[in-house]
Amino acid sequence: MALVPCQVLRVAILLSYCSLLCNFQALEVSSFRTYGGKWKFLTFINLVIQTAFFGICVLTDLSSLLTRGSGNQEQERQLKKLISLRDWMLAIFAFPIGVFVVVMFWTIYAYDRELVYPKLLDNFVPGWMNHGMHTMVLPFILIQMRTSHHAYPSRRSGLATTCTVSVAYILWLCWVHHVTGMWVYPVLEHLGLGARIVFFGSGIILVSFIYLLGEVLNSYIWDTQKSMEEEKEKPKLE
């Protein structure tokens, strides 16, 4: 895709996430006023992550346009740092956490929505907002992966960081339960200690799998595109 359309697309996605965040902040839900506030919900954390990530993507696009042809080495150095940050955020946060939220939410919702998204919330959260938080995350992140090549960190380093982030969130959930006596998600209330440990462990495994999926998908997309470009160049070289 051409540079300018990609820029416009990323700006549109960023504005969509900003709108979702503003609407999320305006929701009057009782659980938001208890210990941990909105920050105990992975959906909200993911919204912040995606907004920050696409903000960096847009900033990278702008910096690239301003730096192009300038010959300023310092600007080019700063642009490379920005690109490295963008790539790291996609690999560690935006892709694995974003896809995890979509997969887990709709899997549990299909089984019994009361375990993850009680029907009572329909009175506070409009349908378009629910899909914005739990559905559109996937196509948005795939669009970004398709329109920009991302350099993944080493597999060992990336997986270790992603697992650390997952464990940190699980510990945060346990701490909230310790303080309030209530689990953030209704599904956890229905599980015994052993089943809860299995549930958390399965979550870490799933996030790790999604990380690897993102790495493979990124390589496949850009290796395929590179091969296509090479095929197009062949007649010109003959």
Q: Is residue 113 part of a domain?
A: yes
In a domain, 237, yes or no: no
Please tell me the pTM assigned to this model.
Answer: 0.90
Q: Decide if 195 is inside a domain.
A: yes
Task: Output the pLDDT for position 237.
Answer: 46
- Amino acid identity, position 14: L
pLDDT score for 1: 43
In a domain, 183, yes or no: yes
238 belongs to a structural domain: no
CA dist 41 → 46, 74, 101, 179 (Å): 9, 40, 11, 16
Is 60 part of any domain? yes
Which among 123, 13, 6, 19 is positioned nearest to 65, based on CA atoms? 6
Q: Counting Cβ atoms within 10 Å, is residue 137 exposed (0-12), middle (13-18) or buried (19+)?
A: buried
What is the three-class DSSP state of 190? coil
Number of structural domains found in the chain: 1
- The tokens describing 191, both together, are 């599980």
Q: Which domain holds residue 109?
A: 3-232
Tokens coding 144: 């970004």
pLDDT of residue 59: 95
Count the neighbouring beta carbons within 10 Å of the beta carbon of residue 121. 14
What pLDDT, on a 0 to 100 scale, did the predictor assign at position 224? Answer: 66
Ranges in the chain, pLDDT < 70: 1-4, 69-70, 224-238
Chain-centroid distance, C-alpha 98: 3
